[in-house]
Amino acid sequence: MEFIKGNFTEQDLENAIIRLFQEQGYDYVLGETIHRKYTDIVLEDDLRAFLLSKYEKEKLTETEIKTIISKLSNISPLPEFQGNRGTFYLLNKGFDLVREDHTQIPIHIDYIDFDTPENNTFKVVNQFSVEGEQARRPDMLVFINGIPVVIFEFKSTVKEDATLHSAYEQITIRYKRDIPSLTKYTTLAVISDGANTRLGTLFTPYEYFYGTRQTRMKQSQKVFPHCIQW
């Protein structure tokens, strides 16, 4: 995917990257069509469906499902680093759920099936408004099982002041400050101006944001087939 400097808008770039995700098997959803409050971050229907499917044999009760969802959503977003780290560890390590029926053995709960990626629900979503200290709407988000794990910000060289660094500041300063209820989940951040795409976290210094390369992304696909190629 290549863009000629000055010949595209941020919307053009966003649409092109959405198409790339769709080619990799992601479902595209317009955020404005999702029935939710702007303070609701996790797509609970997706997470609930994943849990019921993955733990079908264990027959989770409604109380247990609410406990699993609350375990994630109740992580405090502040201070920002602790909140994001807490979410990261829970998504990667899971936790042991004490059953509602205490005569049953606790079961380990994972929010993402890393062993069998096709068991997860992958969505790419734009125009997903979030109400916080101020209302913000990131350019794009990637949801896995209803959890927003990657945040994107795009800039176009059509605007002289729209630089890659301004995309970085939008995520790491304004979004982190104004909508921590969202950014506590987004363990990865992507900034792009079409010609350059970089990957980091909300706490990565700008100079250490990782410039993606096609060959490196192909290597990543061997580990996780749904990684996107730029």
What does the H/E/C string look like for 153-220? EECCCCCCCCCHHHHHHHHHHHHHHHCHHHHCCCCEEEEECCCCEEEECCCCCHHHCEECCHHHHHHH
Q: pLDDT-derived band of residue 158, with 50, 70 and 90 as boundaries?
A: low
Q: pLDDT-derived band of residue 88, with 50, 70 and 90 as boundaries?
A: very high
- Whether residue 180 is preceded by a cis peptide bond, meaning omega within 30 degrees of 0, is no
- Distance between CA 101 and CA 105 in Å, rounded? 9
Mean pLDDT to the nearest integer, 135-150:
98
- Report pLDDT digits (tens) over 28-74: 999 999 999 999 999 999 999 999 999 999 999 999 999 999 999 99
pLDDT at position 229: 36
Whether pLDDT at 75 is above 70:
yes
pLDDT at position 80: 95
pLDDT at position 224: 37
pLDDT at position 226: 43
pLDDT at position 4: 53
Nearest of 183, 187, 181, 164 to residue 173 by alpha carbon = 183
Element (H, E) at 67: helix 62-73
pLDDT at position 5: 52
Whether pLDDT at 182 is above 90:
yes
- Distance between CA 3 and CA 48 in Å, rounded? 40
Q: What is the amino acid identity at position 12?
A: D
pLDDT at position 213: 54
pLDDT at position 10: 86
pLDDT at position 156: 78
Q: Determine if the pTM surpasses 0.95.
A: no
Whether pLDDT at 82 is above 50:
yes
Query: pLDDT above 70 covers what percent of the chain?
Result: 86
pLDDT at position 219: 37
pLDDT at position 214: 44
Mean pLDDT to the nearest integer, 74-84:
96
Structure tokens at 189: 């951040």
3-state secondary structure of 94: coil
Q: pLDDT-derived band of residue 2, with 50, 70 and 90 as boundaries?
A: low
pLDDT at position 195: 83
- Report pLDDT digits (tens) over 198-209: 999 999 999 999
Q: pLDDT-derived band of residue 142, with 50, 70 and 90 as boundaries?
A: very high
How is the chain split into domains, by residue range?
10-223
Edge-to-edge strand ranges of the sheet holding 122-126:
27-30, 122-126, 140-144, 147-154, 188-192, 197-200, 210-211
